[in-house]
């Protein structure tokens, strides 16, 4: 069976939201967004706040639909909720009444995976992220970093071909962020799903990505695409020392700074 060339495709996508209140004019969030993501590719979306990055993820997940254009997953237009993708948000969204193990097993349980197999698969991922010994702990008994690990492996154990991540490390302290970036790369290398990753952290985007898409301010469209040629495997702890890092970081910041300054001028 021939593999689909593109895991994700946005084709001239526009998205407008209607504000509450009578007579309110639609607000254009995305304007003529076109891009693709190949199987196994790690793509980060960066840009000023409110530029529509998270909206892109919601369109792929089928939580909303485009006003114009086409959003496709594995060659088929997304129409309705897309249960074939994994989605990791800023919140860990762990169920408080289920243990760590129970939360990690949840997606497998919903798939109808037999109890013994889901226990084995869940334990493998729990071990991989250093949470062995905490299987029977409940979310309120875990630290923020531990809960975030649990949320990530709960999605990755599902073995989705496409994983959406919306600033998953945003609420964490700097040290924990870098630790989890390294663990995410290690987990991603195992099965190489396509990842679309929203972040405001340019260092994080460079450390993780194959490509970085820079969005303009509202309405968001893609201003520029950067290929991250830094060799893999990468060490997020020492990414600043990698030849080429500084030039790429400066170019990204120059692009985004222009958009931030323009937004301030308009407001």
Is residue 52 in a domain?
A: yes
In sequence order, the 6+-apart residues with CB closer than 8 A to the CB of 56 are 10, 30, 33, 45, 196, 198
175 and 253 co-located in one domain: yes
Is residue 3 in a domain?
A: no
Given a contact cutoff of 8 angstroms between Cβ atoms, the answer to whether 207 and 237 are in contact is no
Is residue 24 in a domain?
A: yes
Stated pTM of the model: 0.92
Separation of alpha carbons 165 and 210, rounded Å: 15
Q: How many domains does the chain have?
A: 2
CATH number at residue 191: 3.40.50.300
Is residue 220 in a domain?
A: yes
29 and 103 co-located in one domain: no
Per the structure, the complete domain to which residue 126 belongs is given by 92-159
Is residue 191 in a domain?
A: yes
Longest dimension (CA), the chain: 59
184 and 255 co-located in one domain: yes
> Could you write out the DSSP letters of every residue in the chain?
-PPPS-SEEEEEEEEEEEPSSTTPPEEEEEEEEEEEE-TT-EEEEE-STTSSHHHHHHHHTTSS--SEEEEEETTEE--S--TTEEEE-SS----TTS-HHHHHHHHHHHHT--HHHHHHHHHHHHHHTT-TT-TT--GGGS-HHHHHHHHHHHHHTT--SEEEEESTTTTS-HHHHHHHHHHHHHHHHHH--EEEEE-S-HHHHHHH-SEEEEE-SSSB-EEEEEE----SS--TTSGGGSTTHHHHHHHHHHHHHHHHHHHHHH-
Is residue 152 in a domain?
A: yes
117 and 184 co-located in one domain: no
Which of 106, 126, 159 terminates a domain? The answer is 159
18 and 51 co-located in one domain: yes
Tokens at residue 9, please? 């495709």
72 and 201 co-located in one domain: yes
Q: Which segments of the chain have a pLDDT < 50?
A: 1-3
Which of 127, 159, 191 terminates a domain? The answer is 159
Is residue 2 in a domain?
A: no
Phi, psi of 184 (to 5 degrees): -60, -45
172 and 121 co-located in one domain: no
CA-based R_g, the chain, Å: 19
**pLDDT for the residue numbered 2:** 43
75 and 179 co-located in one domain: yes
142 and 57 co-located in one domain: no
Separation of alpha carbons 51 and 222, rounded Å: 10
Separation of alpha carbons 130 and 100, rounded Å: 12
Which of 109, 137, 159 terminates a domain? The answer is 159
């Amino acid at each position: 069976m021939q593999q689909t060339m593109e895991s994700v495709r946005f084709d001239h996508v526009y998205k407008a939201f209607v504000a509450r209140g009578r007579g309110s004019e639609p607000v254009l969030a995305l304007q003529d967004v076109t891009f693709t993501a190949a199987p196994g590719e790690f793509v980060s979306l960066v840009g000023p706040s409110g530029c529509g990055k998270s909206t892109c993820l919601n369109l792929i997940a089928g939580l909303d639909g485009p006003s114009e254009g086409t959003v496709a997953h594995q060659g088929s237009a997304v129409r309705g909720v897309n249960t074939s993708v994994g989605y990791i948000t800023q919140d860990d969204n762990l169920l408080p009444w289920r243990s760590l193990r129970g939360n990690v097993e949840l997606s497998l349980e919903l798939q109808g995976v037999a109890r013994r197999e889901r226990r084995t698969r869940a334990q493998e991922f729990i071990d991989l992220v250093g949470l062995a010994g905490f299987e029977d702990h409940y979310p309120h008994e875990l630290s923020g970093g531990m809960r975030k690990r649990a949320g990530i492996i709960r999605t990755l154990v599902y073995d989705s071909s496409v994983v959406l991540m919306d600033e998953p490390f945003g609420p964490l302290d700097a040290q924990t962020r870098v630790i989890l970036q390294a663990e995410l790369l290690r987990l991603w290398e195992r099965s190489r799903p396509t990842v679309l990753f929203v972040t405001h952290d340019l260092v994080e985007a460079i450390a993780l990505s194959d490509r970085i898409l820079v969005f303009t301010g509202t309405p968001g469209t893609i201003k520029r695409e950067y290929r991250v040629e830094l060799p893999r495997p990468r060490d997020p702890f020492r990414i600043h020392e990698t030849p080429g890092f500084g030039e790429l970081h400066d170019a990204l910041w120059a692009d985004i700074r222009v958009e931030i300054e323009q937004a301030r001028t308009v407001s």
